[in-house]
Every structure is written in structure tokens, then in C-alpha cells.
Structure 1
Amino acid sequence: MATSIFRQTCFLFLLALFRKLCNSLILYRRKPANMRNISHVHKTGEISNKTLIFHLEGVLLRSNSLFPYFMLVAFEAGGFLRSFILFLCYPLIWLVGEDQLGLKIMVFLSFFGIKKESFRIGTSVLPKFFLEDVGYEGFEVVMSCKRKIAVSNLPRVMVEGFLKEYLGVKAVVASEMKLVCGYFVGLMEETKTKEFVLDHDILGEGKAGCNAVGIGCYNKYFDQQLLSLCKEVYYVSTTEKRKWHTLPREKYPKPLIFHDGRLAFRPTPIASLAMFMWLPLGLFLCIIRFTSGAILPFKMCAPIHILTGTRLTVSRPGSCLTKNEEKEKGVLYVCNHRTLLDPLYVAYVLNKPVSAVTYSLSRFSEVMSPIKAIPLTRDREKDRKLMKSLLSEGNLVVCPEGTTCREPYLLRFSHLFAELTDDIVPVAVDVKVSMFYGTTASGRKCLDPIFHFLNPNPVYSIKLLEKLPRSYTCKAGAKSNVEVANYVQNEIAKALGFQCTGYTRKDKYMILAGDEGIVRSHDPPIRQLYRVNAL
């Protein structure tokens, strides 16, 4: 019995290898006469006035593997167990190939049992990783056309948000996911490119291929139905894609300011293996870091955090504090918001008792916090009275952004803090993580500190800036509260090398989570970025 199973396994393994070999030999098949290399388009720019039909995976993405995107879906939507099962199945997926049977396996394992109504990963998580995988050369060609139609092997729910919001495509030709009672069953409905394009009249004046140009990745992703739709067809070779450069951040079609999800790295098979191997040790270190910070005094827990891999860098102003200033009470420390632990690290640096106020503070975090942490009510008058009361008792740390931001941007500062006191000290905070983000917009906020401490070497950077000059305060300087808030925001942005924005907490949650469960069909109001040296 065992011998028979072994023989069958070997036979299937050899059959899969033979199939991959046959697929690789397709490289040498003869190309159609009307098919030319994309480098010709890149040099001449002759397709700018035509309708472009392009394949997402073959023309834009540098990587040839779709596994990382399904790992992101499995981890963010299903958790550790689902992502681990997908990882264990990767050898089988590699053998059968990711383009057909392997794609169906990844779709089933990633989507089965996920509720459609709560699935926002395609708009909140995946765009960041798609942008980081976009090839600059292919991007220039695609963006040179005003009218674009995208074709993808990935399910529509994964790619439509990225393609329409960042690339401005008119239509997305991709498979729909089958649903039962509002839940994904892990199966895709087949979509025929030609019928879909013609039935929906997507080409417009270029209908039936009169003015359409197709671009695909020859030998792997090229959709043969494009040949019958397009008058001209171009291809991208796999060897050419290896030489492509990563799309620079400054070339993004729109700034990437908000994104959600816990994974801070691209989960390739090797990187996923490293994550799962790290988790047992990481969980042990997380318990030590978390409990020591919650129980022990500051002076005792600092060496423990250093020994377990946590790093804290501190920068103080050029003029050292005098003894009287060190004992001064009622100072308001205003910092940007990177994680829930910001006030705690500020207290470590100051080495004196402080209180903190913050939004969306879970009961668990409030109880476990080693410093006095009080949630705000979002009622302006109540919050003003609360912060004044805390300032009369001692020093206070406040994060006027109201929510965290992972990217090098600062959200609009609420001006409520400027009305409380003239003793304001700006604090610039930055965080570097390599595996997990310690923030979330749609997940459980009580797990934020745990995910932060799960990182192998989380790095916190605290910069204490000069105390706010009297000329830039409300009472002594006769400045408005908005002017003071903008000034503090700019000073922190200069210290960090970040860029200021006019986005608010509400904007972030509308983009990432959607208020009241409503998925909008239009973009949220976009506020213009302004330079850090402008008030």
C-alpha cells in the first residue's frame, strides 16, 4: 500500500515537472506577424491616442509570481492559520503552475468562507504592494494612453480598486468570485475577454479592434483573445522584465498616504518561511517586552527592551534643560502619531510622569498602560476640560492628528491643543518595523502593541524639539489656534523629513474602512498636499 502511494506521488511529481518543462519550451514558439516588442512603443510613443488593452501581471508587475498577493489576502482576511495552510501548499502550487490549476488552488485557500461585505483588502492593503512591484518601464507605456482597459488573471475584487484609483483604467476584465449567502466559496467565474469587452461596449470608437492596441507578456500571461480584438499587438519578454526598475515613489500617480493590514513586508515564499520560523521566538520576546513595559519601572524595563532587540534613538534640542525646567509641570508635549505606544516612549525619554490622551483607546490598552492614558470623547468642550484638568496636575502628551499614519506624511493637526497652554514642546516620532505593523484601521486595536513587539528589531525614534516660542502661541503671541497648530505640524515635519497634508482622521477611515459600512462609488475628497515650509 505504501509502495503504491509512493509510486503515484513520484508519477505526479514527474508529470508536473514535465508540464513545467513544456511550458518553458513555449518560449521558442514562433510569434505572430503582427506582434512587436514593447521597446518599440517605449521609444516612439505611437499609441498615446489609441485605446490600450494591457495585461496587469504581464505588463506592469515585475514579479512573475502571484503567490505574495494571495498570501496577503489569506493573512489579512483569514489570519495566521489560513496563511500557514496556503504556505504549506506552495510546493504543490509551484509544481502545477500558478497560471491555471495553481491559481485556482490559491483562490480557494485564500477566499473560501470570507464575507464579501467586510472584504476591503483590494482597496486598503494590496495597492501598496502592487505599487512596489510595478516596473517603471511598463508603467510609462501604460500611462501614456488616456484610454486604458486592464485584463488580469487575479479576481476582480483584488485588482479593481488599484487599477481604477491609481491607474485610471476605464474597465477591468477579470474573473468574478462566486458567492453563497454573501460569502466567497473560493471559486471563480470564467470571464471571456472578447465577449466582455464587446458586450459592454468598452472600446467605444475602437470597437471590434478598429483603434485598439494590446500589450501582454508573451509566453506566459498573453491573453490570446486580445489578438482578435486589437489591430496592433505588442509583447513584453520575461528576460526584458528582469531588467525593469522599481517605480519611484515620486512617480506614483497619486500619493500613497494610507494603507491597512498587518504585514509590513512582501510575503514571498522565502519571506513567509522566515516569518513562520520567527513566530515562536517572536511571541516569547513579545511577552517579555509587553509585560516588562507594563509592570516594571522605566529604568528597569529599558535594559530588558534593549536585550530583546528593541531600539530607541533619542535626539534632544541643542539648549539643555535646566533643573527648574526639568521640574516644571503643566508642559504640553505635542507629537505626531505613529503607534499607540507613542506617549509611552515619550515618557521613557522624559523620564518623568506624564499623562496621555488619545482616540480609539481599547479598554485592554487603558488597563495595561504604565502611564495614565485617558480616551477622548470627540466632544470638543468635554475634551478641552479634560486636558486642562490633566495639565493642572502635571505634564500631558497629546497626538493632535487623531489617528496614526504609517507613511512619511503628517495628517492635519487638530487645533484644540493650542488653546490650552503656551508651554508647548513639539516631539517628532518615527517608527521602523520589518515584519508587522503595530497599527490598524479595521482590525482589533487591542492587538496593536502585540504586533509591534512581535517585530524582530522595532526601532523608535524620538526627537524633542525646542519649546514653542512665545511669539507663536495663542495667549502671548496673539496667534490663532489654527496658526499655532500649523506651525507645530510644520516643525515636526521638518525634523522628520515628512510632508504635511490636509487629511483628517475621518478621511483615513473613509478610505480604509468605510464609515457605517458604506462602500462609496467615488473617491473621497482629496485635499492638496502642501510643502513643509508653508503655513
Structure 2
Amino acid sequence: MSAAAAKDGDATVAALTRSFPTVMVETLLTEYVGFDAVIGRKVKSSQRGGYFSGVMVNDDDVINSTKKNAPRPLIFHDGRLAFTPTPWAALAMYTYLPFAVLLSLLRIAIFTLLPRKISSAAAALAGVRLRVTGTAPPPPLAAGNGGRLYASNHRTLLDAVAISSALGRPVSTVTYSLGRLSEILSPIPLLRLTRDREEDRRRMASLLTKGDDVVVCPEGTTCREPYLLRFSPLFAELADEVTPVAVHADAGMFYATSTSPLAKCFDSVFFLMNPSPGYSVSFLEPVAAAGGDGGGGSIEVANRVQRVIADELGYEATALTRKAKYLLLAGNEGVVEAKS
């Protein structure tokens, strides 16, 4: 069963079911779940008396009826499984699961304990794939000129780690809310932000001033599907230019993102549990930021960076935000309250 929506004036939210006859689920879904309509298979009835025969009509009738109520594109979803759990696929997963845990622990140890010069090679031997496309990774800025600012789309918590490996040098990254386990396991420096615009600008600017290369993910949250969420414009006010980075993560068995506060700390663990996790990193031509010549306003720059990354990946740029994702999936705005 899936949800679909049609726009005819006000939006109508409909449920589409192909397993159950409409007559069995329509009352429950409309009166108690909140759907406006139910589209499903019909049960044939006798011509005399109108009794249901127990035989459902052809699937083509359902397919034709849905053409007038086309489903919305799936942008936000949650859950760990990145495959359809058919009986054989589920059996394969459960058979592989003990090895997946051990493999994830090995890969985490490689990234956190080994020197950077050999960790990438060791990770490749352990099945972690990294592919660098596009232009050559830019060199660090000359001493005294500050650090480079990279703006990336956000696929998993390991985006900045993949970018650091592609560059072959350490970078810093920023985060709003991250579990303690993820902080401990991170092989690169993390800077916690406050959601206070001026304070966050000051913190990120201080890293760049010190000469640190900084990776920011202006979407503010991850998106699994081929869409880009709206880019927050704050990053465009930090430097004279920003280097867009397009990243794509391959996860064939387990998704590495979650909106659950309890499960989120295991996101990186689940990514490294995949049989052959992979990242594709593409460095694009630098874009003049709001502080540079010809950059324009920060919102204009943020939209430009979003577009060039979307074009590189073949994704669709949207105006959806982090708040929209968490309201849909978790019923909150995705803000972790500070403990007193």
C-alpha cells in the first residue's frame, strides 16, 4: 500500500492498494487514518442482489484509475533496508549480518586508528570504494590565505570523510547535532554549531582563518533519493569563493541515515556494514561567494551552488528543507534540545 496525492485546488491525499479490495480498507483509511480517498481493486458482485462474489476485478482497472491521481515523487523515507526484503533476500541478509558487524568494526578501526597515508589503501582492501571524478582535487591555499571552503550535498555522515580521503589531506567539518558515538568514531575534526546565525558564522570563519579546509553540507540533513534540498545561504558569506563538491554514496543493503534519535548514532556503522560501500566524489569549479567579486547575494550564491551540484549528479533541486523532512518522518523539527 502506498500514499499518493493529486492536486485539484486543494491537495487530496489518497491511498493506493493492490493487495486488498477497496471495500475492506476504505472505511478504516478514510475515517481513522485520514486519507481523503482510497484507490484499489474492486470486488465483483452478483447482478442479482448485489452480493460480493469474492473475486476481484482485473489489475488493469486499478492501473487505469490511478492515472487520474498520479503519486507524488518519493523524496523522504526512513528505515534501514536498502533492498526489497523478499524471502531469499532476507535470508541472505540474516546470513551475512554477523560478518557485516565484524566487517564494519574492521573498517571503523582502519579509519580511526591508522595514519591517513595508509588508511585509504587499507580501506580499499577491506572493500570500501572511493572514486574521484570531475576536475583534479584543488590544492590547499598558500600559507596566510586561510583555508578552502567546500560545499557538498549531504548523503551520509561520512561525506566529509570521503572528501578528505579524495583530497588526501585532513579537513574539518561542521555539525548541528551528532551522537556521541559518531563524534568518537569520526576520523576528522568536528565543529559543533549552535543554530545561532552570528555565532555559527563566527565559529566557521575562525576555522578558515586558521587555515583549515572546511566542508559544509548546506542542506542541513541527508537525502537518500536523487534530490537536493534547499541550501542554507550562511556558507556563502564565509569566504571569497566556495568549491562545490558533488558526492554520491552507494549502499546496496543498509541505509546509513535515520531520523530516530536512538538509531542515528549507528548511521556510520550501518554504512560500513554494506558488502561494498562506495563513494563517488566530484570536485567542481569554484564559485564566487557573496564576499567575492561577482558573487551576488548569499541566497543567490547558495542557489547557484545547489544547481551546479544537481546538474553534475543528475539530481533535481528542490525548495524542501530539513524541517520538512523531520516533520514528515519524525513529527518534529529535527532540533535536539540541549540538556540542562
Q: TM-score by structure 1 length?
A: 0.52
In structure 2, what is the equivalent of residue 368 of structure 1?
A: 185
Shift of 1:325: 6.2
User: Does the 8 Å contact 2:108/2:185 carry over to 1?
Assistant: no
Instruction: Give the Cα separation in 1 of the matches to 2:156 and 2:17.
Output: 38
SS at match of 1:462: strand
Change in Cα spacing, 1:223 to 1:475, as seen in structure 2 (3 Å) is farther
Residue-by-residue CA offset, 1:397-423 (whole Å, 9 max, x unaligned): 100100000000000000000111113
Instruction: Give the Cα separation in 1 of the matches to 2:320 and 2:277.
Output: 27
Change in Cα spacing, 1:400 to 1:57, as seen in structure 2 (3 Å) is same
User: Does the 8 Å contact 1:332/1:395 carry over to 2?
Assistant: yes
Change in Cα spacing, 1:223 to 1:432, as seen in structure 2 (3 Å) is farther
SS at match of 2:57: strand
- Give the gaps of 5 or more residues in structure 1: 1-52, 60-148, 173-213, 217-221, 518-535
In structure 1, what is the equivalent of residue 338 of structure 2?
A: none
Give the letter for the 1:279 counterpart: L
In structure 2, what is the equivalent of residue 151 of structure 1?
A: 24
Change in Cα spacing, 1:329 to 1:341, as seen in structure 2 (3 Å) is same
User: Does the 8 Å contact 1:54/1:150 carry over to 2?
Assistant: no
In structure 2, what is the equivalent of residue 463 of structure 1?
A: 282
Instruction: Give the Cα separation in 2 of the matches to 1:315 and 1:323.
Output: 18
Shift of 1:151: 3.3
Shift of 1:302: 1.4
In structure 2, what is the equivalent of residue 127 of structure 1?
A: none
Change in Cα spacing, 1:435 to 1:54, as seen in structure 2 (3 Å) is closer
Aligned counterpart for 1:422 among listed residues 231, 240, 243 = 240
* Bigger RCO (CA 8 Å, 6+ sep): 2
Alignment RMSD (CA, Å): 3.5
Shift of 1:321: 4.7
Shift of 1:324: 6.0
Aligned counterpart for 2:37 among listed residues 169, 177, 183 = 169
SS at match of 2:173: strand
Greater helix share, structure number: 1
Instruction: Give the Cα separation in 2 of the matches to 1:286 and 1:507.
Output: 31
- Give the gaps of 5 or more residues in structure 2: 1-14, 335-340
Change in Cα spacing, 1:270 to 1:474, as seen in structure 2 (3 Å) is same
Aligned counterpart for 1:215 among listed residues 42, 47, 64 = 42
The 5 Å alignment of 1:489-528 reads 489-515=306-332
Shift of 1:516: 7.7
Change in Cα spacing, 1:151 to 1:399, as seen in structure 2 (3 Å) is same
Shift of 1:259: 0.2
Report percent identity of matched pairs: 44
SS at match of 1:466: coil
Shift of 1:359: 2.2
Change in Cα spacing, 1:493 to 1:283, as seen in structure 2 (3 Å) is same
User: Does the 8 Å contact 2:251/2:274 carry over to 1?
Assistant: yes
Matched, 1:56 2:18: yes
Greater strand share, structure number: 2
Residue-by-residue CA offset, 1:464-499 (whole Å, 9 max, x unaligned): 11111x4x6444225111000000000100010000
User: Does the 8 Å contact 1:433/1:459 carry over to 2?
Assistant: yes
Shift of 1:236: 2.5
SS at match of 2:42: strand
In structure 1, what is the equivalent of residue 123 of structure 2?
A: 305
In structure 2, what is the equivalent of residue 284 of structure 1?
A: 102
In structure 1, what is the equivalent of residue 209 of structure 2?
A: 392
Q: TM-score by structure 2 length?
A: 0.80
In structure 1, what is the equivalent of residue 169 of structure 2?
A: 352
